[in-house]
Amino acid sequence: MQQLMVEIPQRQYPIFVADGLLADTQQLRRILQQYIPGRQVAIVTNDVVAPIYLDVVVAALDGLQVDVMQMADGEAEKNLQVYQQTMDFLLNARHNRSTCLLALGGGVVGDLCGFVAATFQRGVDFIQIPTTLLAQVDSSVGGKTAVNHPQGKNMIGAFHQPVAVLADTATLATLPAREYAAGLAEVVKYGVIEDADFFEFLEQHSEELLAKDGAVLSEVILRCCTIKADVVSADERERGKRAILNYGHTFGHGIEKLCGYGQWLHGEAVAIGMVMAAQLSTQVAGLEESVVRRLIALLTRLGLPTELDRASRQVVTVDAMMDVMGLDKKVVDGRLRFIVASELGQVQVRDDIEAGIVRDVLNRC
């Protein structure tokens, strides 16, 4: 068991990383008891995760009122309708302000459960138990919660920090190869934005990562969480440095929206978006083409796409991308913000990039 603290103004919370945590009912009970304030617990999960992990989590909550909200799997479920269903579920089960919500699943479950926790009776505690790599290294940490709107991804949400994050690396053994690779995209992102040595480590250990080597995975998850914790601690509500965590996401969110949520997994869209952002960086930030080639090579070795397929190109046109990116949350005073890299580990937030340059990059990608 390894532990990392996220320090934010006036509060802090732990991230626990362990192999086999969900197989140890007693240890899981000891941890959860520290962070559940009352007698009520509502578990939000999905129909893929529940058959594998729900029973052990319920057993660890023995003696409490435990109710389970089970949603369907997939990004398309992260919407206001499922949010409403979850609210109805809590009210019908007579949960009150001392309840604690528990997100058992990947990023979709965590984002939706967190938004429900942020808004149910003006805010209740919640715990993240992420079961995908993407959630363990990124979405479960930092307090961003949201649902999607037909016009854009994560447009309806709130900042609401969990009281604890419990990451069991053993859950990754049951993760489909495509979902696992999607999580690796966010891992690569941390090397680009903050840590060139980490990027090189990923290049050198790509085979072990693909094999889900336990020691390498633990090191990678802890490093990613440390970087994110440091960034979030400095800028919880994304008024400055936290924006660097969006590297590749402005392009990636546009791809997800235009292709229909679920056509590309979030990490896959971000992988393509990171390549687009790298190409943009060569035009406006002096990034060397050799770094772009290294990024493409690493993403490819990890089983991730680096360009759109033919079918997607029919809907992800330059005009459509410029339009949908104009609705992105990262637009400030009508100006698009892009995260661009001058070198590995060195990025900057720019809102002064001419539309013609962005269109040229989109044309070439």
With a pLDDT cut of 70, the percent of the chain lying above it is 98
**From start to end of 19-81, where are the E strands?**
40-46, 65-71
Residue 194's pLDDT is what?
A: 96
Q: Is the pLDDT of residue 145 over 70?
A: yes
Q: Output the six-digit token pair for 158.
A: 């709130």
Quick one: how far is CA 135 from the chain centroid?
A: 5
What is residue 22's DSSP assignment? G
Fold match between domain 2-174 and domain 177-364: no
- The CATH architecture assigned to 177-364 reads Up-down Bundle (1.20)
pTM above threshold 0.85 = yes
In whole angstroms, give the CA distance from residue 44 to residue 86.
8
Residue 331's pLDDT is what?
A: 62
Quick one: how far is CA 70 from the chain centroid?
A: 20
Rounded to an integer, the average pLDDT of 52-76 is: 96
Residue 326's pLDDT is what?
A: 85
Residue 327's pLDDT is what?
A: 77
Residue 274's pLDDT is what?
A: 98
For the chain, the distance separating the N- and C-terminal CA atoms, rounded to the nearest angstrom, is 43
Q: How confident is the model at residue 330 (pLDDT cuts 50, 70, 90)?
A: low
Q: Spell 10-48 as b/e; 16+ CB within 10 A means b.
A: eeebbbbbbbebbebbebbeebbeebbeeebbbbbbbeb
- pLDDT per position as a tens digit, 194-253: 999 999 999 999 999 999 998 899 999 999 999 999 999 999 999 899 999 999 999 999
Nearest to 344 by CA among 296, 300, 280, 278: 278
Residue numbers annotated as active site: 122, 144, 186, 228, 238, 242, 246, 249, 253, 266
Q: Is the pLDDT of residue 74 over 70?
A: yes
Residue 329's pLDDT is what?
A: 56
Give the domain ranges of the chain.
2-174, 177-364
Class of CATH domain 2-174: alpha beta
Q: Which sign, positive or negative, has the C-alpha torsion 341, 346, 348, 352?
A: negative
- 3-class state of residue 287 by DSSP: coil
Strand partners, 158: 145
- Residues composing the chain: 365
Rounded to an integer, the average pLDDT of 69-75 is: 96
